[in-house]
A and B are shown apart, each in its own frame.
Chain A
Amino acid sequence: MRPFILRVFGFGALLTVLLVGAQLFYTTIVRAGVHRTDREFWEASDDVSILVIGDSHARNGFDTREIGGSYNLTTSGENFVQTYFKLKAVLADSARGRSIHTVVVPFDLHSFSSYKSHRFPEMYFWDRYVDWGEVGRALGDPWGFRIRSLVERAFPYAGNWRILRSWALGSGIPEQEFEAGFLVERESLTRLTPSERAHGPFERAGHHFAGQRHPDPMMLEYFRKILELCEVTGKEVLLVRYPVTDECLAAAVDSFGVDPALPGPEALAARYGHFPLQEYWRAFGDRPELFFDPDHLNQAGAREFTRMLRRHLGRN
């Protein structure tokens, strides 16, 4: 029995070392750059006056070089729950809370889809902001989320082989250049080939809307909390719809029955005195040269779109 127990402990020790090594490797090397903008925000001087929050559509779509004093504090895949908690932490910081006077909040079709309400990738990063107990209670699974966050902290790479592959191929997170949170690499880069333009929109729309509730009650609730937080802290809000290709919009509306007017969220925003900026999001629909993929702008598109937002941010 003793040799067996020793072998078990020996293997257990080896496995523990490997798993800890994998965890450190993933968080400090593979994914170090992904959350660099977050780190730089907190390290940077506290003179940000316009804070851009949201997911990859805002990340790709708002070029901070066009509007001084802005910071693009977004994360790919971020949902309103994560955005709310992050914003809460930022505004609770005395220096940054004081300097920020406008918050640019996304108002995209997919932002209110239920596909986002259960997706919390990289919980190990979001531990610093999100109260998982509150999120779990909202989703009827308070302990589940707490346990999930602990497990993710231990195994952040779990299920993320595609990210590891990207890193290994050098297409992941190399030393990139950021300007106040905005990635400056994607000048005219586009993946919107004719084939991608034919199939991509349906796949993207399916990813966001197939089998999902729209609008999702939890996303609506945390959107409301964001507006309420801004109201309480005296911040101005600009609700922005980021451009997508016409094909992407058509796929969402025609194939998945999404109402592009977003009446529910619009009514909710109106209660707080906000009206989403609707003038520009369809202006790029038939200009593929401004898109990286069917629903993300490239840098040229971001530059043009951000210039359109200037007058709404008092930067004519």
Chain B
Amino acid sequence: MLFNSLEFPIFLLMVFAGYWGIGPGRVRVQNSFLILASYFFYGWWDWRFLGLIILSSAVDFWVGLGFRANSGRRARKALLFTSLTVNLGVLGFFKYFDFFAGSFEAALASLGLHADLFTLNVVLPVGISFYTFQTLSYSIDIYRGKIRPIDDPVAFFAFVSFFPQLVAGPIERAQRLLPQFQRPRALDPAQASDGLKQILWGFVKKVVVADNLAPSVEAVFSGSGSAGGAVLLVGTFLFSIQIYCDFSGYSDIAIGTGRLFGFSLSRNFAFPYFARDIGEFWHRWHISLSTWFRDYVFIPLGGSRCSQPRRALNVMVTFVLSGLWHGANWTFVAWGFLHGLYYVVQMVYRRFTGWVREGPETERVPRLRDLPWMAVTFGATLLAWVFFRSESLSQAFGILATIFSDPLSKGAGVGCPDCRFGLVLSACVLAIEWLQRDKQHALDLRSFSTALRWACYAAAVLVFLTFGRFESSEFIYFQF
């Protein structure tokens, strides 16, 4: 089921009424109800893959119980190994089998060797990259002694399958979310009301901005062979806004929906295009994934507590794996590699200049005087988005070559349809988020008078209805 479908509001209303109708004190019943609702939500897309979520949940719950029963180092390692094998195995099979088979075949062919490896053309289950990482974090955190395993399967299964964040995050940590399933939740009108506003803003970003930009971006990238540098540049810019609004819109809807049920989900985006350097960008973009890779890949590799060359290597490995997580294509690997390179360059720059960014990245509010740094950082991410959006490395390099060799030409192709409208939408969303950059979401208008707040909410509803594209379209991150 998609958030932006006619079925979702009906589903949400029914689940909301049923959930709170159960009563705030009956935690187990509420959790059971959430499990059923979440499986229904997921099964609406394809019920056959429910088994995978259940398998992943069951394995890690059992692993958790195993950790409780076994304190020996060998046994604990074996349990961790089991969790890693099952979760990464499932992920690897469904997501990467054909990619690696095809790449291996291509590599052999380049050496003059012929191999006819079979590919499976497996359907990628929606959300698999997200919920496997979520269950893995549970097992790993128990192994590290950061959390205790729980013996309540209902709470655990509800934690894994919780429908607002099941298919595209935020990737929640057990330490943060699991206790919320174990304690009573009360309907907080203020929290629910703010949740609705966040949902509304999420829909505006997704349905109004991202979905209206999609045809222009598709036209530019599918005709990139004959497009000029200016068209490609505009198309790439529009894609950067599209993917941000699509993904952050989804996250806003997920977080807002969670709040309707009394849950606090992690913030996933903190206005990343206002970042002043690449390090800050990754503290603001897909925060739940970047912190996951930091905690479970970068730090175990040695993190920053090693020599500079080793640290740079750790950074590159982490970013390349992060790129690969996004999809089974070398373009995503290249995207991750580029970001890793940016990060290493920043590390070296800091080392030699002694420059230190003041304050925690997400807490300091960007100012207008930071504009030059924001522009440079945005430009760097724009370059990387070319790889992310392209179908192949050759297409990406071709686009970049055209952009840099002739940035002002329109080219012979059909151009960028509706680009002016897309640029207006982009400017509007950036302006609104700039004005609200110290808030959790753009419709957090507590400082406004009641009349002005109501006018803004009503305007947002009318904008959503009038400018939205309502042909049901998937969220970009569903493909990951």
Contacts and interface: CB of A to CB of B under 8 A. Distances in A.
Nearest to A148: B6
A151 B465 contact: no
Given A4-B189, A8-B193, A18 B462 contact: yes
Contacts of B466: 22, 157-161, 164
B461 A199 contact: no
Contacts of A164: 466
Interface string A298-315: 000000000000000000
Contacts of B458: 11, 14-15, 18
Interface residues of A, number: 25
Interface string A153-181: 00101111100100000000000000000
Given A4-B193, A147-B6, A151-B6, A159 B461 contact: no
Interface in A1-23: 1, 4-5, 7-8, 11, 14-15, 18-19, 22
B454 A14 contact: yes
Contacts of B6: 144, 147-148, 151
Contacts of B454: 11, 14
Contact of B465 (A8, A148, A158): A158
Size category of the binding interface on chain B: 10 to 19
Nearest to B464: A158
B461 A4 contact: no
A284 interface: no
B414 A199 contact: yes
Interface stretch (B93-101, B286-294, B326-334, B467-475): B467-475
Contact of B469 (A18, A155, A159): A159
Nearest to B417: A203
Instruction: Tell me whether chain B's interface is mostly helix, strand or loop, or mixed.
Output: helix
Given A11-B454, A202-B414, A159 B193 contact: no
Given A11-B454, A148-B6, A4 B465 contact: no
B190 A4 contact: yes
Interface string B175-199: 0000000000000011001000000
Contact of B470 (A11, A18, A158): A158
Nearest to A203: B414
B465 to A, nearest CB: 5
Contacts of B468: 158-159
B20 interface: no
A18 B463 CA distance: 12
B457 interface: yes
Nearest to A15: B458
- SS of A interface (majority): helix
Contacts of A159: 465-470
Interface in B394-444: 414-415, 417
Contacts of A18: 458, 461-462
Contacts of A151: 6
Nearest to A118: B471
Interface string B439-453: 000000000001000
A148 B414 CA distance: 34
B462 A22 contact: yes
B44 to A, nearest CB: 13
A155 B465 contact: yes
A199 B413 CA distance: 9
Contacts of B450: 7
Interface in A204-242: none
Contacts of B415: 199
A48 B5 CA distance: 43
Contacts of A8: 193
B356 to A, nearest CB: 45
Nearest to A5: B189
Contacts of B193: 4, 8
A76 B465 CA distance: 22
A11 B414 CA distance: 46
Contact of B461 (A15, A144, A148, A161): A15
Contacts of A19: 461-462, 465
Contacts of A1: 189
A132 to B, nearest CB: 13
B414 A161 contact: no
A301 B13 CA distance: 54
A76 B189 CA distance: 47
Interface string A174-203: 000000000000000000000000010011
B256 to A, nearest CB: 16
Interface in B223-275: none
A14 B462 CA distance: 12
A198 B72 CA distance: 75
A135 B470 CA distance: 19
Contacts of A161: 466-467
Contacts of A199: 414-415
Contacts of A22: 462, 465-466
Nearest to A159: B470
Interface string B156-191: 000000000000000000000000000000000110
Nearest to A1: B189
A7 B461 CA distance: 17
A254 to B, nearest CB: 16
Contacts of B457: 11, 15
Contacts of B461: 15, 18-19
Contacts of B467: 159, 161
A148 B10 CA distance: 13
Nearest to A154: B465
A117 to B, nearest CB: 13
A144 B417 CA distance: 31
Residue with the highest number of chain B CB atoms closer than 10 Å, among A1, A151, A155, A158:
A158
Given A11-B454, A158-B470, A161-B466, 6 more contacts: A18-B458, A18-B462, A147-B6, A158-B468, A159-B468, A161-B467
The 8 A-B residue pairs whose C-beta atoms are closest, nearest first, are A4-B189, A161-B467, A158-B465, A159-B470, A161-B466, A155-B465, A18-B458, A11-B454
18 contacts: A4-B189, A4-B190, A4-B193, A11-B454, A18-B461, A18-B462, A19-B461, A19-B465, A22-B466, A147-B6, A148-B6, A155-B465, A157-B465, A158-B465, A158-B470, A159-B466, A159-B468, A199-B415
Interface of A: 1, 4-5, 7-8, 11, 14-15, 18-19, 22, 144, 147-148, 151, 155, 157-161, 164, 199, 202-203
